[in-house]
Structure 1
Amino acid sequence: MQDNKEPPRFRPVPWSGLETPADVELWIAEHNLSMQENIGPQETGYGVCFTLAEGGEIYMQTTQDGALILDVTPEAAWIAPLIMAAARIDEAPQGSTWVLPDDKLIQLMIGLSGLIASSMLVVGHNFGLRRRMGAW
């Protein structure tokens, strides 16, 4: 946990669009390296927060058991049809937490890319699932 008197540990980074699967794979590799360098082994609830240009945030985490967890804030609920199309699913979940197979990551990132304003590493986020620990 971060002390409120300390400056923020992570800061938003302006987003550069991802247009191809190779772009997404490069972003994943860079993101993995950044997480390895900046996230301690005892920390949980880590992932990335995407701030959407049109409002709201999506918190994303991958798990060791092959799931992609999205926590969509109420202000970003408008993004549900895009997530459904990218993941090729027929229904949105009842709550704000989406659980998708991690093989949907590339399609999802290409679909979301043009809508993201910034990204930021996060730790200690409750991804809506008990006892889940993030792993990229």
Structure 2
Amino acid sequence: MDTLDNTSAEPGERPWIVLSTTYDVEAWIDNYNRELQLYVDPKKQPNGHGICFGLEHGGEIYLHTTQDGDILLDVTPEAEWVAPLIAAAAQVAQPTSQIWPLPGDRMTQLVLGLSPLIATTRIVISHDYRIRKSWRV
């Protein structure tokens, strides 16, 4: 895909390199934000863009940041095994739905905690976080 042409084609899956320091995570977040901007046209896809983490032991976690800077995670049923780690890393209680609303200031801790468990990542242009249950941050 030509990165100058913001079409809705999603880039392919990439292998994950384990991040071991907060500096590594901050650099990854900055790079992820820049790459996401290349693929997302806010006029065509105003919501639901983010990243999908494919986990080593099964399941996926979709991560989206809201306009207010908060985080939404969609933890697929196959990835429920990682819920205690998400709760510990983000210092939040596990929600009753598979949609996790998190404060934006927990991004670094979250990615650092999940990093050893991630196998792949891919940019997601559109993911519907509202189809399951309502959420609030």
Partner of 1:37: 38
| Structure 1 unaligned blocks of 5 or more | 1-7
Alpha carbons of 1:37 and 1:114: their partners in 2 closer, same or farther (altered >3 Å)?
Answer: same
Whether 1:83 and 2:95 are equivalent positions in the alignment is no
| Structure 2 unaligned blocks of 5 or more | 1-8
Relative contact order, higher structure (CA 8 A, sep 6+): 1
> How many residue pairs were aligned?
123
Please report the RMSD computed on the Cα atoms of aligned residues, expressed in angstroms. 1.7
Partner of 2:124: 122
CA contact (8 A) 1:53 1:116 kept: yes
CA contact (8 A) 2:10 2:123 kept: no
Whether 1:46 and 2:49 are equivalent positions in the alignment is yes
Give the TM-score of the pair, scaled to structure 1. Answer: 0.85
Q: Identity percentage over the alignment?
A: 46
Give the TM-score of the pair, scaled to structure 2. Answer: 0.84
Letter in 1 for 2:14: V
CA contact (8 A) 2:39 2:125 kept: no
